Amino acid sequence: MNVNRGAEPSKFFRESTLRSGNVIRMPDLRVKTPKRSFLPRSISSGLPFSTLKLAELKQIFHARDDSNIEKIMVRTLSWCERAPIQGETKRCVSSVEGMIDFATSILGHDIKLQSTESVGGSKREILIGQVKRIDGSKSSPPMACHETLFPYMIYYCHAFLTLRVYEVDILDLVSKAKINHGVALCHMDTSAWSPNYEAFLALGSGPSRIEAYHWVYGDYAVWTVAN
């Protein structure tokens, strides 16, 4: 069985991989989603954002019946409206201010945005340098945010006590020079994930049986307490 079916090679990895001195292959760190921007909060807050208001949304964005844009809106609205899974605190945000408000409601006002510094090392083997855990205290779980497709920028943000965040020096395999500063996010509890989720397809396992690590890059960001 090809366990890599449906998942980008090297996108997900295990905890044992993230060790100083290990050689691993990096995924493509370049942004692949269409470029969009957050709307000003004064505008986004006045737009409907509900499956119950789909007809109004379709009219605003000139989306025809059964068009790709309608399907994208339905998928994102449904994802944002679903109930949180066990241990999850979630919110979809449509502005920078909304993201910061949600982050501070969970972490307090002394917070820091974490993400991988650049695309250095993309799609090639690299050497893991220093690794440092940075996710803060048990009472202040890190909050991960990732973009979801919509006519304008929407981020799905959620926090789990079982999330772990690491800073990682990414080194050139030959010269040992630092070529990037990465941030890695680990989901320690995968019990609520679908058995068909791409992490399991890539790693050859299933819910509750493994943890799943991935790099924070592109459309992904993580908020932690500043200290």
Sequence spans of domains, the chain: 12-29+89-225
pLDDT value for 3? 36
pLDDT value for 10? 84
pLDDT value for 158? 93
pLDDT value for 2? 32
Q: What is the DSSP string of 8-38?
A: -TTSEE-GGG--TT-EEE----S--SPP--P
pLDDT value for 85? 86
pLDDT value for 202? 86
Residue 145 is inside which H or E element, if any? Answer: strand 143-148
Output b/e per residue, 205-222; b: 16+ Cβ within 10 A: bbeeebbbbbbbbbebbb
pLDDT value for 78? 96
Q: Which parts of the chain sit beneath pLDDT 50?
A: 1-5
pLDDT value for 139? 65
